[in-house]
Structure 1
Amino acid sequence: MTDLTKFADPLPVPPLLRPGPELTVRLVPAEVRLHSELPPTPLWTYEGSFPGPTIEVRRGRRLRVAWENQLTTPYPAQVGNLPTIDSPPAENSPGIDAAFLNPKAAVLPGWAVTHLHGAVTGGGHDGWTDNAVPAGEAQLSEYPNDQAATALWYHDHAMGITRLNVNAGLAGLYLVRDEEEDQLGLPADEFEVPLVLCDRNLATAADGSLTGQLLFKTVGPLPFSGRYTLVNGRIWPYQQVRARWYRYRVLNASSSRAYRLHLVDENGTRVPDAVWQIGTDSGLLGAPTPLSAQGLNLSPAERADLLIDFRALKGRRLRLVNSAPQPYDGQPIGDADPVGVPDPEHRLSDPEVIEFRVSPDQEPEPFTLPAQLAASYHRLTHDALPEHTHRVVALGRNAAGVFQLWELAEVPDADVPPAGTLQDGLIQIQQGTGPVRTYRRVAADFEDTLNFRVRRDSWEQWTFVNLSVALHPVHLHLIRFQALTRAACDVSSVKDGGTPIGSPVTWDAESPILPSDQGWKDVIKVSPGELVRVAGQFTGATGRFMYHCHILDHEDDGMMRPFTVTPGAVLDLTGDGMPGMPGMPGM
């Protein structure tokens, strides 16, 4: 029996830590009941909690954390895969044939390194992927917290096994507070609730019953997707709420699953005018924006700061449901489409996420939705950017079918081969009737030559062109940025890792950037056949950092590249690094 009763258990809330200047957080094995109908599940956790404790800090108050590794138990999940399949299922089924179990995973040590995702901190404290520590050692990190109020999160980032360590339970929220946020009088205390979303799969016994043990199973080349949706570590929970405003700090902590969330009533009808978004990954928006009929799109690692007004919904039962199919290409649902359409074949069998049970009693409401949020927020545009560097990255796939980040360098016109030439790693891109620009791939694997040496405090624009068949949420460590451009591309000419000379990837009209996606970000989703430009300032720290796809299976397979941030005087003296490209219309 693999069915579990939906909305049987109350929503748990992770412990809250408000530390002084120093904090020790232990990575420890624990057994946690993910559903009242399951046996306890072995996990690897921060401080015995799944998710880990929510750490709350004030802006500008430096925090030193000792991430102390006490993971002495064997890896707590079964790991396996199935052969390549022709048609991907919406989600993994529970259980796995013993013949497909991976015995190497069963003996994995507790080797971990914690990355504070979205933090402005030096490269030595960022959780470099190779700097994982074994049991008995501690990772020492320092976080200045000199950044605007936002919801960051911490998670494991160990080289090659990030997906497994995070799946085992190593993730938690980290909230930064500041005076600008304080002045808004947003719902707080019991009315501010974290919602850490993730999916998991479960192993079965010989009789087919669920054992409670986690199962990390991939289907052929597809990344992990589990049948069971967890919120704050509980499968399909409910929350008893009062008829007033609530603030929800929503995080997609899944390995690969995207969410397209809608609030619906008992009949599955969308509830309008109740949900407002007030923030994105890296801070508050300038003004509240209502949740559109297209729902809230969250790719892995993205966050959203939401307000839900339950005042007019007294005595009702409401649900958050996920209408994103699996796999998901990032396309929005139409305003008139019912939930779950337009891809019914890949619709989740269990789209439910959480149920809200609203009290029937009316009560005084001290909060009023403000017309303005962060006065410090400003919308970036390319033309208004300070002097800046351009970089171009293609999201491609090699001959073996492995997704990669292809760093591109422009080829002078005199060096472009004759028309019709097809070379691996040679790509042409054209906007409308503008000039055709030719690029050569200069890096694809994590260990390839370091190319991106960024000048500290400089502004840069990065262009991502998705030449692959999958959505990729790209995360840049250290900085926050904004999306400047989205555009659909014709990538039909791409073959064998390049484009024939004279047959470029083309794009023309820009797609609208939704108000809910115009805020400060540290993850940007790039759909198949899409070009996205982002801009940000590399300030606040120096060192060696990473950028990567935040589908953890892709990251572990090598879809990750390093970059460095260095004082300008050092770069000027040494003449080191690959310069960025000058401003290019359309790029």
Structure 2
Amino acid sequence: MQLSRRSFLTYTAGGALALVLVDPVTGARTVMADGLAGPTLPGSGIPKFVTPLLVPPTMPRTRRSGPGGPVDHYDISVRQFVQQVLPAELPATTVWGYGPAAGGVGRALHHAPSMTIEAEHGVPVRIRWINGLVDADGRYLPHLLPVDPTLHWANPEQRPGPDGVPRTDIRPDLTGLTYVPHDQFTDPQTQYTTYRGPVPVVIHLHGAMGMGDESDGYPEAWYLPDAVDLPAGHAPYGAWYAFFRGKSEDLHWVDWGPGEQVAHYPNANRDSTLWFHDHALGITRLNVYAGPAGFYLLRGGEHGEQNVLDARTGRPAVLPANAPAASRGRGRVPTYEIPLAIQDRSFNADGSLFYPDTRAFFDGYEGPFVGEGESPIAPVWNPEFFGDAIIVNGRTWPSVELEQRRYRLRFLNGCGSRFLILDLDGVAGARAHQIGNDGGFLPAPHDLADDGMQLLLGPAERADVILDLTDVEEGSYEIRNLGPDEPYGGGVVGVDFDPADAESTGLVLGLTVVPARGRDRTTPAEHLVLPAPPAPPTEVRVRRLALLEHMHDIHDHEVEEGEAPAAALLGVLHGDPTVRAEAQPLTWADPVSENPAVGDTEVWEFYNLTADAHPVHVHETPFEVLDRRAISVEEAEYVVGVGDPLGPVPAGDRGLKDTVISYPETVTRVRMTFTNSGQFVWHCHVLEHEDNEMMRPYRVGPVQEGQPADGPHHH
């Protein structure tokens, strides 16, 4: 069997798995033989639009007075529980989720996604994030999903590296050992298997700016639960945890107890849609897939919604918001502002989550793996994963009753690998305007009719949309997805790639439109005057950065020669890309290569030398998208030409962003100002890529006294 970058598993109409080979030039698809174990509950067999949409309620908070003014306090834990994700006639699903820590084990206050945190610009939020992945007796719970121990990951069991020293946050040395599935593991002297110990977590508030690095959720600042049975030899926390704990105590006068972190968010952002999720090293894809995520809606400030004007009057505009309490009828959506977390998952017939437990699921590759000879191929990690079921706010294909009026929908692509192209064209008579993105309001409302009523969202991107149903006839409609069931590379749906399966992943949300209950006093989106974001100052430096892949040449008598993806990488570009520049791949362990000074404005150029689009996320600072330009690539490691800008920046990318799509054989240029010193990260937000080297540390300002050194760490 010929392996290539474009080999991947997909589902046939009957729900079976088949290996699909895609010609990288023509795009022709060849379906190979199936037979690999996949989910036992195909998405095509799950009833659609029979479950009401759940709108997450507001997380309860405690507001206290501090030296500098009020501070909102939360104690939030991540726990394991059972949730009815599938329709009621099907089994419930064991998931993880966030909720108030005071709820007690088994209380219904934890949910995936969690209740929404409502925050105010300039009013700090302090959250005690607790790893509550223990059972009722305080014993640790193993992961719900298969943990690959061969990646550069948290490594809490402290398997030694090549130097023989036991430590965390490395890629363990497994030379001479053979991988076997967990149920076949018998001899640790000759075998290794998936990790089944206590789970490391660390929480990141995605899109937060102006905070200290001790609150950012640095991947090596993870921590295990404070379980009664932590195995001997396991480190209770990662390499950066103790440093950040001490820093937090000094800055914020707060103690971190065992199994927790305390984050302080100053809420310096513009009015925007943020979200929080796990960020532990090398295991983020699994922790997020298990369920924990939530919205964080930041309101107010100079660029807040109170400064949105009505162009007709010059007075403050009225945006769709919470309905009056008296009008909240039984079974109705209680708000005209609805956050929508869209994710993909797969399920087994018993209701459990399905996630691949073998590399063969992705491309049929069955070894050799890490530890066997010189193979760099991880035995469990998949380069991408596409679930065959869509969930919205924690339920598969829900339905919602909406009135003939305007709604504010805050969309989040919470998928691990899947790019969404939301299609609103099927809602006949609807009008839709995007008014915001990751970083807050756009410079002006964008009429989605100009894009065929389609909205592209890469993983982690958000869009703030006014959906106007005033002229929509009563009846049932669907929001659909045209994004592919495979890695996305840009282009036109139906020409450059096939859309998602029309009977499963091509469906998102059912709408039932009913008459308006009362007068709609909100301002039509086309009349909104949005508070324009300030443009970053002129840059003092340009950095040329590379998006790369590590392809492993296969030479084995049992497998036809070919290439298999072993890792996704970031790096730097040396030389003049208009003539010839060489990409230098870097791993997570390599020293920091991006070190702006506090107050510096820089342009970062992301040169994508791979076959896929990558959503690039920079922690701590928002950026302005300047342009995209085609590049000429040789041998997947040289840039030998740069073209002119590929037209104006798309409307949805204007203003400020924290995540941007970097297209294949394209350079994407962004400009940002670094205001806070400390250690942060930038990475691809395809979580399977992020977990296997497509993430790099960067530092603003000088090395901090007492911080861990770059590279492998000792406690």
TM-aligned CA deviation for residue 456 of structure 1 = 1.0
C-alpha distance after superposition, 1:106-127 (max 9, x if no partner): 7242310000011111111100
Identify the match of residue 216 of structure 1 among 328, 348, 355. 355
* Residues in 2 aligned to 1:54 and 1:196: alpha-carbon distance in whole angstroms: 11
Confirm or deny: 8 A CA contact 2:429 2:471 kept in the other structure.
no
Confirm or deny: 8 A CA contact 1:394 1:406 kept in the other structure.
yes
Q: Decide whether aligned partners of structure 1 residues 229 and 346 sit closer, same or farther in structure 2, where only a CA change above 3 A counts.
A: closer
Residue identity matched to 1:133 = Y
TM-aligned CA deviation for residue 429 of structure 1 = 1.8
TM-aligned CA deviation for residue 326 of structure 1 = 2.2
1:424 maps to what in 2? none
Are positions 1:377 and 2:439 aligned together? no
Confirm or deny: 8 A CA contact 1:263 1:318 kept in the other structure.
no
* Residues in 1 aligned to 2:664 and 2:429: alpha-carbon distance in whole angstroms: 30
1:91 maps to what in 2? none
TM-aligned CA deviation for residue 346 of structure 1 = 6.4
TM-aligned CA deviation for residue 467 of structure 1 = 0.5
Residue segments in structure 2 that go unaligned for 5+ positions in a row: 1-40, 64-71, 100-109, 136-140, 149-179, 186-192, 227-258, 308-316, 323-334, 364-381, 553-564, 705-709, 711-715
Structure 1 stretch displaced more, 134-143 or 312-321 = 312-321
TM-aligned CA deviation for residue 288 of structure 1 = 0.9
Are positions 1:507 and 2:574 aligned together? no
Structure 1 stretch displaced more, 18-27 or 546-555 = 18-27
Residue identity matched to 1:33 = Q
Residue identity matched to 2:134 = T
Residue identity matched to 1:450 = V
Confirm or deny: 8 A CA contact 2:143 2:196 kept in the other structure.
no
Residue identity matched to 1:286 = P
Identify the match of residue 117 of structure 1 among 206, 216, 228. 206
Residue identity matched to 2:507 = E
Matches within 5 A, 1:66-465: 66-72=128-134, 74-75=141-142, 77-79=144-146, 104-105=193-194, 107-120=196-209, 121-136=211-226, 137-179=259-301, 180-183=304-307, 184-189=317-322, 190-203=335-348, 210-217=349-356, 218-220=361-363, 221-265=382-426, 271=428, 274-291=431-448, 292-293=451-452, 295-333=454-492, 343-344=497-498, 347=501, 349-350=503-504, 351-361=506-516, 363-369=518-524, 371-378=527-534, 385-400=537-552, 401-408=565-572, 410-411=574-575, 429-430=577-578, 436=579, 438-439=581-582, 441=584, 444-465=586-607
2:684 maps to what in 1? 549
Confirm or deny: 8 A CA contact 1:286 1:372 kept in the other structure.
no
Confirm or deny: 8 A CA contact 1:455 1:538 kept in the other structure.
yes
Question: What SS is found at the alignment partner of 1:16?
Answer: coil
Are positions 1:474 and 2:616 aligned together? yes
Confirm or deny: 8 A CA contact 2:570 2:695 kept in the other structure.
no
TM-aligned CA deviation for residue 17 of structure 1 = 2.0
Confirm or deny: 8 A CA contact 1:223 1:553 kept in the other structure.
yes
C-alpha distance after superposition, 1:209-231 (max 9, x if no partner): x1110011252354111000000
Residue identity matched to 1:558 = E
* Residues in 2 aligned to 1:12 and 1:195: alpha-carbon distance in whole angstroms: 9
Q: Considering only aligned residues, what root-mean-square deviation do their CA atoms show, in Å? A: 2.6
* Residues in 2 aligned to 1:528 and 1:142: alpha-carbon distance in whole angstroms: 37
TM-aligned CA deviation for residue 437 of structure 1 = 5.2
* Residues in 2 aligned to 1:59 and 1:361: alpha-carbon distance in whole angstroms: 33
* Residues in 1 aligned to 2:279 and 2:696: alpha-carbon distance in whole angstroms: 14
TM-score (norm 2): 0.67
Are positions 1:530 and 2:663 aligned together? no
* Residues in 2 aligned to 1:102 and 1:479: alpha-carbon distance in whole angstroms: 47
Residue segments in structure 1 that go unaligned for 5+ positions in a row: 82-97, 204-209, 335-339, 412-427, 431-435, 572-576, 578-587
Confirm or deny: 8 A CA contact 1:241 1:359 kept in the other structure.
yes
C-alpha distance after superposition, 1:381-401 (max 9, x if no partner): xxxx42421111111112433
Share of identical aligned residues, percent? 32
C-alpha distance after superposition, 1:12-62 (max 9, x if no partner): 112312532211001111110002232111111101111011101100001
* Residues in 1 aligned to 2:286 and 2:573: alpha-carbon distance in whole angstroms: 34
Q: Decide whether aligned partners of structure 1 residues 386 and 452 sit closer, same or farther in structure 2, where only a CA change above 3 A counts.
A: same
* Residues in 2 aligned to 1:263 and 1:518: alpha-carbon distance in whole angstroms: 21
* Residues in 1 aligned to 2:274 and 2:671: alpha-carbon distance in whole angstroms: 20
2:697 maps to what in 1? 562
2:654 maps to what in 1? 518
C-alpha distance after superposition, 1:218-274 (max 9, x if no partner): 523541110000000000000001111110111111111110011143xxxx64651
Q: Decide whether aligned partners of structure 1 residues 101 and 250 sit closer, same or farther in structure 2, where only a CA change above 3 A counts.
A: farther
* Residues in 1 aligned to 2:113 and 2:184: alpha-carbon distance in whole angstroms: 26
C-alpha distance after superposition, 1:308-350 (max 9, x if no partner): 001111313221111011224342437xxxxx66533864651
Matched pairs, number: 506
Are positions 1:486 and 2:628 aligned together? yes
Are positions 1:37 and 2:89 aligned together? yes
* Residues in 2 aligned to 1:273 and 1:516: alpha-carbon distance in whole angstroms: 19
Confirm or deny: 8 A CA contact 1:54 1:174 kept in the other structure.
yes
* Residues in 1 aligned to 2:182 and 2:650: alpha-carbon distance in whole angstroms: 43
